[in-house]
Amino acid sequence: MPQKPSSTFARIRAEVLRLVALIPEGQFTTYGSIAIHMNVVARHVATVLARLTKEESRALPWHRVVSANARISPNMDAKLAARQKRLLKAEGLKIDRAGFIQDADAHFHVVGVRRNIRWSEMQ
């Protein structure tokens, strides 16, 4: 039986979803950039996005979040990585064979500066 997520994880998850929804079409950001802004680790962001429901996956531009160095995660399932590449290309981004977004500086979405948040202490 799956364990119910903690209230801390639920708040982190909600913030990740909010921030991903704000990434404009034709731009991207990284797991780490979101994590730095939120004062969490990149793995938290990746975990949230890996566990999207089908409805969330259809509604949220999850494909606009990539690994460090503007690269589609090489650890991602090959079919999902191909889908992400197709979606990004459809928005005008150029991606090389290794999965790196070309001219990344021109398409990078800045999430914001690090926030001073202690997620476990929030009410």
**CA separation for the pair 82, 17 (Å, rounded):** 22
Per-residue pLDDT of 50-82, as tens digits, reads 999 999 999 999 999 999 999 999 989 999 999
CA distance 31 to 41: 9
Domain residue ranges in the chain: 7-114
CATH code: domain 7-114 is: 1.10.10.10
What contacts 21, CB < 8 A, 6 or more positions away?
60, 61
Q: Please, are residues 100 and 69 in contact by the beta-carbon 8 Å criterion? A: yes
Q: What is the pTM of this model?
A: 0.89
Q: Cα(82)–Cα(9) distance, rounded to whole angstroms?
A: 29
How high is the pLDDT of residue 1? 52
How does residue 115 score in pLDDT terms, banded at 50, 70 and 90? confident
